[in-house]
Amino acid sequence: MTDRNRTVLVGIDGSEGADEAVRWAARLAEGRDLELELVHCLQVAGLAYGGGLAGSDVLFEGMQKDGERIAAEARELALSIDPSLEVRTNVYTDSAAALLIDRSRKARMVVVGRTGTGGFTGMLVGATTSAVASHARCPVAVVRGRHGDGPVPLDGPVAVGIDGSPNSEAAIATAFEEASFRGVPLVAVHAWVDVVYDSTASTARLMPQWETLQPNEERLLAERLAGWQEKYPDVEVQRRLVRDRPRHALLDESDRAQLVVVGSHGRGGFAGMLLGSTSQAMIHHASCPVLVVRPEPQR
* DSSP conformation letters of 227-277: HHHHH-TTS-EEEEEESS-HHHHHHHHHTT-SEEEEESS-TTPPTT-SS-H
Domain boundaries, the chain: 1-143, 148-299
For residue 46, give the DSSP letter: H
Cβ-based burial of 275 (10 A; exposed 0-12, middle 13-18, buried ≥19): buried
More confident residue, 47 or 87: 87
> Any residues with CB less than 8 A from the CB of 106 and at least 6 apart, and which?
4, 5, 7
- The Cα–Cα gap between 293 and 133 comes to 9
CB 184 within 8 A of CB 156: yes
**Whole-number average pLDDT of the chain:** 82
Q: 1-143 and 148-299 share one CATH topology?
A: yes
Q: What pLDDT is attached to residue 2? A: 44
- The predicted model gives 171-176 an average pLDDT of 95
pLDDT over 70 percentage in the chain: 76
Listing DSSP states for 191-209 in one string gives: E--SEEEETTTTEEEEPSP
Strand partners, 35: 7, 86
Q: What pLDDT is attached to residue 114? A: 79
Name the CATH superfamily housing domain 1-143.
Answer: HUPs (3.40.50.620)
CB 49 within 8 A of CB 76: no
Q: Which of 80-94, 203-217, 226-240, 242-256 has the lowest mean pLDDT?
A: 203-217
Q: Which of 104-108, 142-146, 211-215 has the lowest mean pLDDT?
A: 211-215
- The predicted model gives 114-141 an average pLDDT of 72
Q: How many C-beta atoms surround the C-beta of residue 193 within 10 A?
A: 16
Q: In this model, does residue 290 exceed pLDDT 80?
A: yes
More confident residue, 204 or 88: 88
Please, where are the H alpha helices in the chain? 16-29, 45-48, 56-81, 96-103, 127-135, 166-182, 210-231, 246-254, 277-285
Phi, psi values for residue 44, rounded to 5°: -105, 5
Q: In this model, does residue 20 exceed pLDDT 80?
A: yes
Q: In this model, does residue 48 exceed pLDDT 60?
A: no
- The Cα–Cα gap between 285 and 258 comes to 14
More confident residue, 186 or 151: 186
For domain 148-299, the CATH architecture is 3-Layer(aba) Sandwich (3.40)
